[in-house]
Amino acid sequence: MGFSPNTLGELEGIPDHVLPEERAGREDFRGELAVTIDGETARDFDDAVSLTRLASGHYRLAVHIADVSHYVREGTALDQDAWTRGTSVYFPDRAIPCFRRTCPAVSAA
């Protein structure tokens, strides 16, 4: 199941890193030690957890999930291809991705 030429064109316009202005209004967890919760044989590493001890002595367990939806604008070819797929599907010998690895949220996750 390939991606449409329009989707491939749209993906070319997405930078391979998160731009500073895209970080505005988001909480930055890059300074925290996070550990992936994706298995050893996972084909993508886009889910993680971190554990922080608070001043009160309690702990905060944070769950970090890649936000690829940030790169999908409603009504675009990428939106249509993602809607058709719904999610990535994994088989023992291959995967059908919802997004190509060129999407920065996927490749940087």
pLDDT of 105 above 50: no
More confident residue, 101 or 16: 16
Instruction: Convert the pLDDT of each residue in 29-49 to its tens digit.
Output: 888 899 988 888 777 778 899
More confident residue, 66 or 78: 78
For the entire predicted model, the pTM comes to 0.58
At residue 80, φ and ψ (nearest 5 deg) are -65, -45
Q: List 63's β-bridge partners, or say none.
A: 49
More confident residue, 69 or 50: 50
Question: What is the helix (H) or strand (E) element at residue 87, kind and residue range?
Answer: none
